[in-house]
Structure 1
Amino acid sequence: MKKTFLPILLFCCLSLPLFARAMPCHCFSVRDFDPGQPAAADPYFLATTQNSFFSVVFGIEKKKVIFAKQKPRVTAEGLWILYWLAQRSGKDPAQWKATRKAAGSWPDALSGAGVSENLLPPRVMSLLKKGAGDNALASFVVDDLLAGRTGTSPKELQGLRAEGAGDAETILACLLARKTGRQPGELFRSVKNGSSTWGTLILKAEMDGGNMVEEVKSLLGPD
């Protein structure tokens, strides 16, 4: 019995790092703001706000967004693109996923699906023609949704991106700006230069960091 058990135990121990790399972790040890460690919960606030925004703008339960991101070979960038295209075309995200996989590239997928260039903004077509990857396409999608739902100007969004804001940071900065009346760039810079943290800004804005879906709904209003 021992001879059989030991090889199995050894295999399991050696396999754990592989499984850890294969499935991204969406768990956070710190989810509440702590004045003694004001930046400790920032990764959670960024993730939960991004997932909540996704949930609200696409009308999908937040837990389903989180579960989707935990599947093998699924990325946050890919989900933004799939659901945005589905919203614009009326075609199911799963159909777009299958079409993209079969075509091998987004330009071929769109062409094969018979999507008219008029359906997509000129900026998207320009990115596709330049061979832009999912990161650039997803950032455009995020900015497009923020402009449409929060009223953030293209100039403000361009400024955030130019200063190094990623998708999650851009989303949280724009929502905080809508809540407080401050400029998104000003908020982002205060975190970037270390004079504040996302948790501190959320606290001062009296946002409920533990229920961001409702916060986002209240800020965006009806579609």
Structure 2
Amino acid sequence: MKSIEEKILLDILKPWEKLNDSLISNLVLNKNSNDFLTNASNLATAIKHFPESTLKFKPFDLSKENISYQIISDLSDSAKHGDLSNPKRQCDLILTSLVEKSTDLKYRFLRNQIEIGHATHGKRDFLECSRDAIFFILAKCRMASDWKAVIKTSNIEFSSNIELFADRSLQVSLQGWHCRFIQKNESGVYDVVGHEGKFNITLNHNWPTSKEKDD
């Protein structure tokens, strides 16, 4: 049987870090259906039930203490059960490719963002919300940890060409790719902006061609 420390490391911390690493790859993904969204839903369920399975804390009670944990708990139930009896708890997930714009109108892929849409609390970045919920349950369970939980961004340089890759092993269909252009303001915070200037998007993929499908 796993110890509590092993359980949170293997079931929560490592999956969070793996998802964090995966999201900085310059991938084009179906916004509504892909492996990363599935992994996020599974992680939400692990976070929700960890305090209950280890120290018998009730998710209903914990949801009153921490909004991030409440959102993650609602996301877990929405993913498992579909439409919830309380529509104020309903959640969905969407994946958006974040493209950063420079002051000289060059662009770079920054990361893919998984966004929670909560019926009551609005939109939240999944990595940020789940990280806050994890820190909450670590404190609630009185577990010491040196986990840093830094949300990563790509090291791709600014260019007039945005190179992306569509991996068929991560999704069934490419329909519904969603992209958002952002730019740092004077305070170092990203704002949503429009795109300007000339730039190209190069899409590489491993989908079969029409001829390969016929063969």
TM-score of the aligned structures, taking structure 1 as reference length: 0.23
- Which one has the largest radius of gyration? 1
More helix by share: 1
Compare the two structures and name the one with the higher strand fraction. 2
TM-score (norm 2): 0.24
